[in-house]
Structures are given as C-alpha cells and as structure tokens.
C-alpha cells in the first residue's frame, strides 16, 4: 500500500512531467490545432496502455453495464475537457504559467462543491481564499487594459479548472475500487470515443508527423520531425504524468492532490521563463502570488466537518 509520503512524491513528479511537457506542447501547437492534439494524446494513451493490459491483466478492466455512464462522464469531463481547456488556452496565446494557475483554482471549486452541493461546512478562511484568488486573477489578466490576455483563452482555462475539480473528485471515488492503470484506460478510452466522434480520424492532418518543427526559445533553430515531439507530448506529457498522479492519489484525498498539483504552474512558469522568456510585469507577478496564496489558504481551511468526510 502506498504511504502518504510516497503518494506526495508521485504527485510532485507528475507535476514535473506535466510542466516540462508544456514546452513541447507549445511548439507542437504551432503546427497542430489544440483539439487535434488532445485527440491524439487520448487515443495514443489508451492504445498503449490498453494493449499492454489486454495482453497481461485483462481482468482489471472488466466493467459492469451500470458503471458505464459514470466512467463515460469521467472520461469526457475529467480527461477530454481538461485537456481541451488547457491546450486551447495555450493556443489562444495565454502564457503557460497563467493557464496553469487558473487551472489549479480547482481546489477552490472542490471546496465550494462541498459547501453548496454536499452541504458541508466551509470556514471564513476559505472565503478569504476565494476572494484572494479572484483578486489575483484580475491582476494577472489586467482587465482594465481590455484583457491583455485573450478572453476566450482565459475562459477555456477556467473551464479546465472546473473540469479538473471534477476529475480529482471522480478519480478519488473510482480509484478506491480500480487500479491506476485501469482508471486511466477508462478515462482516456471514453475521452477518445468523444474526440473520434467530434473529430473523425480520417480528417486528421497526418502530414504534421513529417513537418520539421523548430524548438524555439533557447534552442531556436533546432529542428525535429513532428512525430518525435507529438510522440513526446503523448508519452511524457500524458501517459507518464497521469499514471504518476493516479498512483499518488491512491493514498491521498482529492483536496490534497489538487493542492500538490499547484506546484505545476510554479514549475511550468520557471520552464517557460527559461526556455521562452515568457516573463510578466510586476503587477502580474503580484497577482500570481496572490492567487497561489489564496489556493494555499483554501487547502488549509477546514472545509468539511469530520463527520461528513
């Protein structure tokens, strides 16, 4: 059984891989639309993991008919929509670090769900956290300048945050009776079905695999074929980090997992700063700091009475 500290380590490692893959994703999306990349990531992940499980332990992916609706919702909301919001936000030009900061307000939405849907207790500290987070987002977006960052991109990132909250809560519940690899296969499997219906595979721009892509940033001028970078986004930006996160969550709550995941925007911001020089002005830096303080307070707050946990 995973210990609490090992679970935390796996989540931190997952955040590292998600953050690092942001550089690859930024490069790939200059040649491949966000929706198509989300589709490829889902299909490739379920193909790789599904093939492995079918030949080794097919019994772990047996499913009852009554479970299908819940697993389908989990895949579409927790995987397809989260990936769409994240990738589309970046494609619209919202800096990677900002997309991730907005995404990880998910811990706040989890607390609000507990308060208004589960009717749990939410402390004054939590409401302060919510106020700080939204104030910080206003500063980061600099709304008084007519949204310096793309409004549609910000809305996509916000959608990602809502869906990520749902992902953590559903993963916590489903993970109690499923192994991490099985949970991911179901999630990515239903996400793939969704994408293949919305975006038929015969319309996929397969020529992108042979396109030479410039790594940009500090490696500007270094060219790699599309299949290398797209494959890296699928394996090291999808399969590896999701497996780490789902494995870590076996010994942690949804709330704790979502807060540890907040390391991702910090790490990704550092990568983007070093690689692409995506720096913010002092107002935006203060706003980002306020958002992170708000989310930290959200985790500290006693959001649920002991008897309702």
Digitized pLDDT (tens) for each residue of the chain, 309 residues in all: 447 778 888 988 998 999 889 889 889 989 999 889 999 999 999 999 999 999 999 999 999 899 999 999 999 999 999 989 988 888 888 876 677 778 878 888 887 887 788 777 767 877 787 788 778 877 876 766 655 568 888 899 999 999 999 998 898 888 888 899 999 999 999 999 999 999 999 999 999 999 999 998 888 899 999 999 999 999 999 999 999 999 988 877 776 777 777 777 777 777 877 887 766 788 878 888 888 887 777 666 654 444 343
Q: 284 in a domain, yes or no? A: no
Whether 241 maps to a domain, the answer reads yes
Residue 293's pLDDT is 85
Phi-psi region of 277 (alpha: psi -120 to 50; beta: other; left: phi over 0): left
Query: What is the three-class DSSP state of 214?
Result: strand
Neighbours of 205 (CB within 10 A): 12
Q: For residue 2, what pLDDT is reported?
A: 47
Contact 168, 258 (CB under 8 A): yes
The answer to the question of residue 303 being in a domain is no
Residue 141, in any domain of the structure: no
Give the number of domains in the chain: 1
Query: Is 64 within the bounds of a domain?
Result: yes
Residue 41's domain comprises: 4-115+149-277
Cβ(273)–Cβ(115) under 8 Å?
no
The predicted structure's pLDDT at residue 201: 94
- Beta-bridge partners for 225: 212
- pTM given for the model: 0.82
* pLDDT at res. 301: 62
Residue 76 included in any domain: yes
Backbone φ, ψ for residue 110 (5° rounding): -65, -45
Distance, in Å, from the CA atom of 309 to the CA atom of 306, rounded to the nearest integer, reads 6
The angle, 0 to 180 degrees and rounded to 10, between the axes of the packed helices 263-276 and 282-300 is 160
pLDDT of residue 233: 93
Question: CA-CA distance, 279 to 277, in Å (whole number)?
Answer: 6
Burial of 220 (0-12, 13-18, 19+ CB in 10 A): exposed
Specify the DSSP class assigned to residue 142. T
Q: Which of 15, 47, 4 is nearest to 244 (CA)?
A: 15
Query: Pick from 74, 9, 67: which is nearest to 247 by CA?
Result: 9
Question: Which pLDDT does position 239 carry in this prediction?
Answer: 93
Element counts in the chain: helices (H) and strands (E):
14, 2
Q: How far apart are CA 283 and CA 301, in angstroms?
A: 27
- Structural domain includes residue 293: no
**DSSP H helical segments within 76-179, as ranges?**
82-91, 96-103, 106-116, 124-141, 151-174
Q: What's the confidence (pLDDT) of residue 139?
A: 80
- Per the CB < 8 A criterion, the answer to whether 45 and 247 are in contact is no
Residue 295 lies in a domain: no
């Amino acid at each position: 059984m995973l210990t609490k500290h090992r679970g935390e380590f796996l989540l931190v490692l997952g955040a590292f891989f998600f953050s690092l893959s942001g550089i690859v994703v930024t490069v790939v999306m200059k040649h491949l639309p966000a929706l198509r990349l989300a589709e490829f990531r889902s299909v490739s992940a379920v193909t790789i993991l599904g093939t492995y499980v079918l030949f080794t332990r097919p019994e772990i992916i047996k499913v009852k008919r009554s479970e299908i609706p819940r697993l389908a919702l989990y895949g579409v909301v927790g995987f397809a929509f989260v990936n769409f919001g994240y990738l589309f936000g970046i494609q619209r030009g919202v800096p990677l670090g900002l997309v991730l900061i907005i995404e990880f307000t998910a811990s706040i939405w989890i607390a609000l769900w507990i308060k208004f849907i589960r009717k749990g207790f939410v402390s004054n500290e939590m409401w302060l956290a919510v106020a700080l987070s939204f104030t910080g987002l206003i500063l980061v977006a600099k709304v008084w300048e007519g949204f310096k960052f793309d409004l549609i991109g910000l809305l996509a990132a916000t959608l990602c945050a809502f869906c990520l909250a749902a992902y953590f809560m559903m993963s916590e519940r489903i993970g109690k009776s499923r192994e991490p690899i099985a949970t991911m296969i179901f999630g990515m499997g239903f996400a793939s079905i969704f994408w293949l219906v919305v975006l038929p595979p015969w319309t996929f721009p397969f020529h992108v695999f042979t396109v030479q892509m410039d790594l940009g940033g500090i490696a500007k001028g270094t060219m790699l074929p599309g299949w290398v970078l797209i494959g890296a986004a699928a394996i090291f930006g999808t399969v590896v980090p999701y497996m780490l996160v789902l494995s870590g969550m076996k010994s942690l709550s949804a709330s704790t997992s979502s807060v540890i995941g907040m390391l991702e925007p910090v790490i990704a911001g550092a990568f983007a700063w070093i690689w692409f020089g995506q720096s913010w002005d002092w107002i935006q830096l203060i706003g980002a700091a306020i958002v992170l303080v708000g989310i930290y307070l959200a985790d500290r707050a006693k959001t649920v009475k002991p008897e309702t946990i």
